Structure 1
Amino acid sequence: MAEVREFTLPDLGEGLTEAVIVQWLVEVGDVVAVDQPVVEVETAKAMVEVPCPYGGVVTARFGEEGAEVPVGAPLVTVAVGAVPDDLAGDEGGTPCAWGSPRSSAVESGGGVDSAVAGPGGPTTAPAPAPPEAGEPQDSGSGNVLVGYGTSSSSARRRRIRPGAPEGSAHRPPAPASLAAAAGPAATTEANGTRTVAVISPLVRRIAREHGLDLRDVRGTGREGLILRTDVESEVRARAAREPVAVAAAGPVPGEERIPLKGLRGAAAEKFRRSRHEIPDATCWVDADATELLAARRAMNVPGAPKVSLLALLARICTAALARYPELNATVDTAAQEIVRLPTVHLGFAAQTDRGLVVPVVRDAQDRTVEQLSAEIARLTDAARAGKLSPAELSHGTFTLNNYGVFGVDGSTPILNHPEAAMLGVGRIAAKPWVHEGELAVRQVVQLSFTFDHRVCDGGTAGGFLRYVADCVERPALLLRGR
């Protein structure tokens, strides 16, 4: 007899607590293999394909495309053992090593057919039964997603519609079951007969920041689970009920509302936090980049690995940070300490169709210009394809922002929290310049340096920027340092 197993959104690492469903890769009735991707989701870090650890027939999907689901919430249920003989093989129903989701038996005569579920759960779906004696319970935590973001070979897909009795309905799991599936992060608070079910710590934090009592919020998730969208909707509703100086006649015709979710939402939160916490300042200088461009042309001889201009600037940054290591730092606000970091993990801003991302080159101080160029190219391609892993988008210590690609000369960027400094590079353009005592047309670039004033004063920041400008004007200076 087939048994139905529930696959929940696993912990994707890096402190991520929710994801947005971008695209379903399977439908109800499809046969899936072990480790076959079933859904593509967007987190605050990247786009990833999530593989299912069970093989069998998909009996239910939870959540529509565009819906936000918390870690621990169900994604699909799979009838393990329901695969026909002609499709059965070594891809059967053995779960992979990571995670230990609950397994539950199919109710007698219940079949395996189900309706596709919306954010509130399926209309008809096989309900997970209590585990048998000795059956392992799902801890709901510690699920490490091994190899997510990569596609395994897909199983042959076939529609299966076993004869389920019409009108048969299955009882959804009790709230306690949901809490068990969610793990330690899910808690309940009782007030009379009102139960508050929250999985995401982010939901509680948003509620605290807006002085919102979660007992006043009605959850739209499964079994009344309170989602982030529920809290944000309540916050907006309360703001709308407050007196407004100018009465609004209604929505403006043709207006468009874009949810701050996924990468854009994560960037917005980081910008807000940076502006709120960091007392930043910016200084800038114009530099003659003619010799730097000439040095790049000399390096890019036929047959040699190509060196990008961004890689040369990255090499200049690592040399400058070796002279001014106090700028490769962060501030521990809880301990009120400046933390100087031993290695340079160099982030660089990259614009993609999904918004601004900052891939990180690990141990940049140990890489040559050619190695920096190759790694920057690899990360840029992955960013544009939406295939960067969370590890490749986090734990940077210094950011290089080349906004000159947009055709602008200068900028006062927002620091990439919690980093303490950022070098900005404008476009390189032909301008009149005094060179060796004579007026000449030179290739000039504006460099800006934004820094956390808690970490250093203007003298240090100015010294760093001046050294960067000197290296741009005379690249041979790099031969004298690291």
Structure 2
Amino acid sequence: MARFTFRLPDIGEGIAEAEIVAWHVKIGDRVEEDQQVADMMTDKATVEMESPVSGVVVELAGEVGDQVPIGSALMVIEVEGEAEAPVEAETAVEEQVEAENPGVEEATEEKPLPFRGGVGVGDSPPAPSPVEAMPHTPPLLPEGERELKVLASPAVRARAADLGIDLAQVKPAEGDRLRHADLDAFLRYGSAQGYHAPHASRAREDQPVKVIGMRRRIAENMAASKRAIPHFTYVDEIDVTALEAMRGDLNANRGQRPKLTMLPFLIVALCRTLPDFPMLNARYDDEAGVVTRHGRVHLGMATQTDAGLMVPVIRDAQDRNVWQLASEITRLADAARTGKAKSEELSGSTLTVTSLGPLGGIATTPVINRPEVAIIGPNKIVERPMFHGDEIVRAKLMNLSISCDHRVVDGWDAASFVQAVKKLLETPALLFAD
């Protein structure tokens, strides 16, 4: 028998380390070649790691939430015969795309690394997996079924890991595959007695949930943004009655083209206005003390996913019409929600738009996506009476919020920018005029 050291490959350009967001094996488990063993998260993507060899897991590099440096041992596998020669690792792996033959190293005679422990002949029993070690609701499945392979998508696995749920304890409502609804039911109705009816006591025990994965990245980024950037927010009301009428007409005659929401029109208005306000389409390098004003608009689009908030980027938004923008918005949102967005599609934005969609709200004070210097927040469209000259008319109104970095953007500039965008949206024909 020989020991095979599987080292964490370079899973993203410039990445020095990755976070363990889920283990799919524990010490003592038998793994097969190409079997998914762990999910690793970088600043930009979550990557599924597969075992390059078949054998028995004897060492794991820490617990869920721990950081593992690129090139260090991720796990050690005991294999039959001699260890194989190293396999060259992929240098870049797309988010949620299964990597092919990630890098491995030759078995060595080095002393065991300071992992959670190894298991060999005569060794003590294996330590519990990170998920088993975390507090969770008692099992709902018969003991004999716990060893069956759990069928679940990467998004479901990542969410379960974030919540500290052992998927082996959750019973699918339909078929064999676990879905988000099953996790919701487990959290809502799980107890020591199994599932119970909704009308029973709603009290549940406190559940400590480790902040890991995407939620930790969001927490760190938002804290850094609020700590470093002096925010101010300006809100104005826009009459979008005419724009909504135009949007309805275009959708009624769209043929095979995508359905238009308000967002493509807003993006066109932003792109037509930004050349007169270059300080808003910018990124601020705090350390260098340099503000780069960008000539192209790479628009970040804040998107809610099961794993948390992600910001896919519409490249060269200034060169796209409303139909092209609608297609790209749909494509990027679907890619982000299904975990298929590429790392380059999740970075490099120069300005971000964030919208709560139908939830809307009266006004928002969005947090800037650092190192950008501004973020736009359209709010819910509401219908109410307003004065039009001496008459009271029915109007569709929408508040538009903008948060800015006061080190770079003055209040006058922010207000003037929103007023210019407002003019375009209230007179939608101007959106298409040269």
TM-score when normalising by structure 2: 0.69
Decide whether aligned partners of structure 1 residues 41 and 105 sit closer, same or farther in structure 2, where only a CA change above 3 A counts. Answer: closer
Identity %: 33
Task: Tell me which residue corresponds to 2:49.
Answer: 50
| Cα deviations by residue, 1:85-140 (Å, 9 ceiling, x for unpaired) | xxxxxxx8772454765312689xxxxxxxxx9x9333325xxxxxxxxxxxxxxx
Deviation at 1:32, TM superposition (A): 0.3
Q: Does 1:331 align with 2:330?
A: no
1:278 aligns with 2:276: no
- The superposition leaves residues 121-162 of structure 1 with CA deviations (integer Å, 9 ceiling, x where unpaired) of 33325xxxxxxxxxxxxxxxxxxxxxxxxxxxxxxxxxxxxx
1:44 deviates by 4.2
Q: Distance in 2 between matches of 1:470 and 1:421?
A: 20
Against the structure 1 CA distance between its residues 473 and 93, is the aligned structure 2 distance closer, same or farther, given a 3 Å change threshold? same
- Are 2:255 and 1:303 equivalent residues in the alignment? yes
**Change beyond 3 A, Cα 1:337–1:64:** closer
Deviation for aligned residue 1:428: 0.2
Q: Contact 1:349/1:358 (CA < 8 Å) preserved in 2?
A: yes
Contact map agreement 2:382 2:396 (CA 8 A) in 1: yes
Q: Deviations over 1:444-470 (max 9, x none)?
A: 000111111222322221221011111
2:105 is aligned, of 102, 108, 113, to 102
Q: CA deviation at 1:336?
A: 2.2
Match of 1:389 among 308, 330, 342: 342
The reply to whether residue 122 of structure 1 matches residue 120 of structure 2 is no
Distance in 2, Cα, partners of 1:458 & 1:97? 50
Q: Which moved more, 1:338-347 or 1:435-444?
A: 435-444
For residue 322 of structure 2, what is the aligned residue in structure 1? 369
- DSSP-derived class of the 1:257 partner: coil
Report if aligned partners of 1:41, 1:49 keep a CA contact under 8 Å in 2. Answer: yes
- Asked if the contact 1:62/1:122 (under 8 Å) is kept, the reply is yes
Per the alignment, in what secondary structure is the counterpart of residue 215 of structure 2? helix
* Residue of structure 1 in register with 2:266 after alignment: 313
Could you tell which deviates more after superposition, 92-101 or 267-276?
A: 92-101
User: Does the CA-based 8 Å contact 2:10-2:89 persist in structure 1?
Assistant: no
User: Relative to structure 1, is the Cα distance of residues 103 and 407 closer, same or farther in structure 2, using a 3 angstrom cutoff?
Assistant: same
* C-alpha contact 2:380 2:398 (8 A) present in aligned 1: yes
Amino acid at match of 2:224: R
Q: Counterpart in 1 of 2:201?
A: none
Partner of 2:75: 76
Gaps of at least 5 residues in structure 2 are 92-102, 126-203
Q: Find the counterpart in structure 2 of residue 292 from structure 1.
A: 243
Please state how far the C-alpha of 1:55 moved relative to its aligned partner: 3.6
Partner of 1:142: none
Residues 16 and 287 of structure 1: CA distance in aligned 2, closer, same or farther (over 3 Å): farther
C-alpha deviation, 1:271, in angstroms: 1.6
Q: Distance in 1 between matches of 2:381 and 2:266?
A: 13
Does structure 2 retain, via aligned residues, the 8 Å contact 1:359–1:393?
yes
**Which residue of the partner structure matches residue 412 of structure 1?**
365
1:422 equivalent in alignment to 2:375: yes
Note the C-alpha offset of 1:440.
0.7
Shifted more, 397-406 versus 92-101: the winner is 92-101
CA contact (8 A) 1:55 1:93 kept: no
2:218 corresponds to which residue? 267
Give, as a single letter, the amino acid of the residue that structure 1 aligns with 2:386: W
Which amino acid in 1 is paired with 2:340? K
Is contact 1:21–1:69 with CA below 8 Å preserved after alignment?
no
Deviations 1:261-299 (A, max 9, x none): 221211122222212221222111111111221222222
RMSD: 3.2
Alignment of 1:124-273 (within 5 A): 124=119, 166=122, 254-273=205-224
Q: Which residue of 1 aligns with 2:142?
A: none
Match of 1:30 in 2: 31
Matched residue count: 338
In the alignment, residue 32 of structure 2 is paired with which amino acid? V
Q: Does the 8 A contact of 2:40 with 2:48 survive in 1?
A: yes
Q: Distance in 1 between matches of 2:273 and 2:43?
A: 31
Post-superposition offset of 1:49: 1.1
370 and 402 in structure 1: CA distance in 2 versus 1, 3 angstrom threshold:
same
Q: 1:29 and 1:318, CA in 2 relative to 1: closer, same or farther beyond 3 A?
A: same
Question: Given that residues 386 and 393 in structure 2 are in contact (C-alpha distance below 8 angstroms), is that contact kept between their aligned partners in structure 1?
Answer: yes
The CA deviation at 1:347 is 0.8
C-alpha offsets along residues 191-246 of structure 1, whole Å, 9 cap, x if unaligned? xxxxxxxxxxxxxxxxxxxxxxxxxxxxxxxxxxxxxxxxxxxxxxxxxxxxxxxx
Decide whether the 8 Å contact of 2:282 with 2:373 is kept in 1.
Answer: yes
- Find the aligned partners of 1:473 and 1:266 in 2 and give their Cα distance: 38
Amino acid at match of 1:303: G
Letter paired with 2:300: G
